[in-house]
Chains A and B, each alone.
Chain A
Amino acid sequence: MHEPTVTSELVAQHGITPDEYEMIKSILGREPNYTELGVFSVMWSEHCSYKNSIVLLKTLPKEGPMMLAKAGEENAGVVDWGDGRAVVFKIESHNHPSAVEPYQGAATGVGGILRDIFTMGARPIASLDSLRFGSLDNPRVRFLVDGVVRGIGGYGNCFGVPTIGGELIFEDSYTGNPLVNAMAVGMVKTDKIARASASEVGAPVYIVGSKTGRDGIHGATFASEELSEESESRRPSVQIGDPFTEKLLLEATLEMIDADVLVGIQDMGAAGITCSCSETAFRGGQGMHIDTGLVPVREEGMTPYEILLSESQERMLVIVRPGREDDVIAIFKKWQLEAERIGEVIEGGCFIVDHNGERKVDIPADALALGGRTPQYKRAETKPTHIDTAQSWDQDSISQRDNYGDVLKRLVGSPNLADKSWVYHQYDTSVRTNTAIGPGMDAAVLRIRKTNTALAAATDGNGRYCYLNPRRGAQIAVAEAARNLVCVGAQPLAITNCLNFGNPYKPEVYYHFAECVRGMGEACRFFGTPVTGGNVSFYNEEGPRAVYPTPTIGMIGKIEDVRHITTNDFKATTDYIAVVGETRNELGASEYLKTVYGLTTGKVPALDLAREKAVQQFILRAIQNQWIASAHDCSDGGLAVALFESCIGRDDHLWGIDCEVDVGAIRPDAYLFGESQSRVVVSFDDANRQIIEHAAQEAHVPLTIIGRVAEGGRFVIKPFIDESIEELRALHRDCIPTLMDERVTASRVA
């Protein structure tokens, strides 16, 4: 087989800089051959090596009494749940593939994160998806939304995991480069956690699951460059998902882990065989020797280069305990899957690949694996000028609207604040029969069988905030995720994160990135919620502009008693409605400014971490004592929108409200639609009023009763708003279906 000669052009085509090429030569003590160049290229890509982010990521808090595995040690973070159980969870991006081929891009994003979970022995119990697109007025965007939603549903529904939450946000900055961040949560018995490590010399190495094809070659490299017109031609870099095979792989994998026949196991995601072999070998302190000629392939004539770099889905690397090979083969046969021995664990720490006996690769594993000798850089930071401009914007420069009812109608009928059920009705939200709260609430809740506990999960991020003030924006993302969990009755435990940014070689992008990491770290330290892992996605750019800097926080929390599960909808007429927290004279960075005035500017809302914590602790206490009937985080769209959302009850029953507010020195629009942080809308009955007011005082948390829940179909906030709740709800419900359904078919044909 003839292989291309390694030239400087070929090196550049592989995304390797001249300096990095010198490093490679000094590691090997010679020139790499073509296959080795391919191996270095994927393993040293941004996607696998985190070379431009790892230095900063190391500053994040990873410690906590409940952490069973720290970030980076395993495929996903592991948090102790008690009762001999652990939660495994992680979030990952699949932005670039989804931009090019939305259905398969999103589907394989879900498939990849699910494998990260069950490769650790955990059965996936939930999936969440945080999505960001451009404006729905753009036909290409509608095509992307349609494909991504179908892809997520198509994969998760067939696999049999409930998709219980996430986000859907529209901003022009994501037009050409959508963000598709998929999170999965799994549960495992602590004595059954599988390790991604090849520690036993002589242990046979198997590839299991699907055959290896030519799909997804250089997917990791593709994800490590900016999108351009040529990206369309990268479509073969997008993998094809097969959720049915993944379901079989899940059952076979869990059966195998349960049978205790493994030394280690790792899924094959980015960089396929190369990454899984070198990383497990490195973690186990050993080497690995495989023969690509033994790998079952889908197509004739695949080269070792292609086999090593293929990102064909639904595959795992399995390191078997010597003597238990037959058990592994029997389990895979039962599930009608391939299991082929391709090599063994060796001494010496090298990743060695032969092809039908001929040596193709011989590289020290630690030169390839994350945490080893891969390159690490800290880039230059420059503060973008727009940040200071936004800080000095005067909110009194805009005039007030004269009809706030009309403003509210416009807001609840705008895509970012509208009902998202068009999306989540396409996801199976109740399979596995644990879903206590599905999508559409502050956080999703799953009961944990055979215990009295429940798990809450949410994703949160605000690109606009981070664009205007990255440090505070990231803090707010963490604070809001925690607040969301608290509102359903959960104590926040830990986070995973997906960091979506532009090209890190641009100093302004890197400033955003660095500030966001710092802000996230500060907030996580303050709340005691360690960062268990996640993923960095750079190069989210199309044309001259990067996407808004968008850290997506995935957070999990624990509800100690299922009776404490609380929803955000009002429960009874005449219940009091109160705002916990302080409403400030803030309009900056709000959805209101953007939707009504077309402005993305101003100061991002202030965040006092101590106040935030006090509010959250008070809400949790009120829920645990069953003082309150509902709790709803007040965020995008402000108080008026939060109140409206609480009016939508079970089976679409609509409550009215009868409120009266005294805005004092605050602008009415800031009072109604400003996004002051650390606020929660609660409702409670007469009997609990005194105790709640007393407890709030004790906790030094402001609590303002503003009115009562009412029948009669009116949404009243005197002296500003008096609207029909039916009308508001119709605008809210019909917005996305109207924008999507009628036009998506046309755009696909066109």
Chain B
Amino acid sequence: MRFGVVTFPGSNCDYDAYAALKRVLCAPVEFLWHGDSDLKDVDCVILPGGFSFGDYLRPGAIARFSPVMKSVIRFAETGGLVWGICNGFQVLLEAELIPGAILRNESLRFACQWVRLRVDSNRTPYTRGTRPGDILRMPVAHADGAYYADDETLMDLETSGQVVFRYVNAEGIPDEKSNPNGSRRSIAGISNREGNVLGMMPHPERAVEPILGSEDGLTLFKSLLGTTATGVDSPLRKRVVSDRGV
């Protein structure tokens, strides 16, 4: 599997995603430039964290109109793997590849801290190496991270198994204290209905080596690469519907 990491002006986690793949996993990866529409024939596009275009209008609002995004949207709609992390998640929401919106953190302050994520769906290519209920430890770092959707959309996300990650406490229970930003229903990551597009606020690419404090992020990369112990070799680009509710 070949990866492409998009660099928008103001992306600052593009190198981190690149390094996780290249140096830790020795996977083929290259940078994609925001001004080019060529996706270089990669199998998975990563929209990285950072402050694309300074986040000056609204996070992700300008990046969404980059030439590269036209190709990314087409790629996603035909089943291509598109993974938005942090600012990349915000870009996905602006591009309406996944439903909902991101609001300013409830604290109105930037929040950089370690969080625990519970895997609520392993029916995506990103989580198929995990079991529902697994807890992953990784950092969040954002000022705008409160996931918001109206009740109807939330219900739809829950019933179709699109809630992939939730912020939880050490016991695996979502509660107010372990929710770093005020996301509705402690949602940390969601997929589109088909499961090929994943958006998440936490940073798996920052949890890939023991020296960084956690290797839990590797699980997601390894799921994509099909190298996890429990990884099923299911064909990608297949319609995935989870039966897991709340």
Contact = CB atoms under 8 A, between A and B. Distances in A.
A427 B9 contact: no
B13 interface: yes
Contact of B112 (A426, A447, A562, A651): A426
Interface residues of B, number: 33
Interface in B99-115: 109-114
B110 A426 contact: yes
B18 to A, nearest CB: 10
A569 interface: no
B205 interface: yes
B223 to A, nearest CB: 20
A160 B49 CA distance: 10
Contacts of B206: 430-431, 433
Chain A interface size, under 10 / 10 to 19 / 20 to 34 / 35 or more: 20 to 34
B222 interface: no
Interface in A148-173: 150, 153-154, 157-160
B109 to A, nearest CB: 5
Nearest to B19: A433
A243 B54 CA distance: 8
Contacts of A436: 211-212
Contacts of A430: 112, 139, 141, 203, 206, 212
A157 B13 contact: no
Interface string B1-21: 000000001101101100110
A244 B9 contact: yes
B68 to A, nearest CB: 15
Interface in A405-452: 421, 424-433, 435-436, 447, 449
A34 interface: no
Chain B at the A interface: SS class: mixed
Given A244-B10, A432-B15, A153 B110 contact: yes
Contacts of B112: 157, 424-430
A435 B54 contact: no
B143 interface: yes
A431 B203 CA distance: 9
A627 interface: no
B43 to A, nearest CB: 23
B19 A244 contact: no
Contacts of B9: 244, 247-248, 335-336
A433 B16 contact: yes
A242 B139 CA distance: 26
A425 B111 contact: yes
Interface in B165-203: 170, 203
A430 B213 CA distance: 10
Contact of B212 (A243, A435, A651): A435
- Centre residue among A153, A430, A432 by max chain B CB count within 10 A: A430
A436 to B, nearest CB: 5
B175 to A, nearest CB: 15
A157 B170 CA distance: 28
B208 interface: yes
Interface string A65-78: 00000000000000
Given A433-B19, A433-B212, A651-B114, A428 B205 contact: no
Contacts of A150: 109-110
A247 to B, nearest CB: 6
- Centre residue among B110, B208, B212 by max chain A CB count within 10 A: B110
B10 A247 contact: yes
A426 B140 CA distance: 11
Interface in B131-173: 139, 141, 143, 170
Contacts of A248: 9-10
A150 to B, nearest CB: 8
Contacts of B212: 430, 433, 435-436
Interface in B63-90: none
B53 A244 contact: yes
A422 B193 CA distance: 38
Given A247-B12, A426-B109, A426-B112, A431 B54 contact: no
Nearest to A433: B16
Nearest to A435: B212
Contact of B113 (A153, A245, A247, A425): A425
25 contacts: A157-B51, A157-B110, A158-B12, A158-B51, A160-B12, A160-B50, A243-B51, A245-B54, A425-B113, A426-B110, A427-B112, A428-B112, A428-B141, A429-B112, A429-B141, A430-B112, A430-B141, A430-B206, A432-B15, A433-B205, A433-B206, A433-B209, A436-B212, A449-B23, A565-B211
Given A158-B55, A432-B12, 18 more contacts: A154-B110, A157-B110, A157-B143, A243-B51, A243-B54, A244-B10, A247-B10, A248-B10, A335-B9, A424-B112, A425-B110, A425-B111, A426-B112, A430-B212, A431-B12, A562-B211, A565-B211, A651-B114
Per CB-CB distance, the 8 closest pairs between chain A and chain B, nearest first, are A160-B12, A244-B54, A158-B51, A428-B141, A433-B16, A426-B110, A153-B110, A430-B139
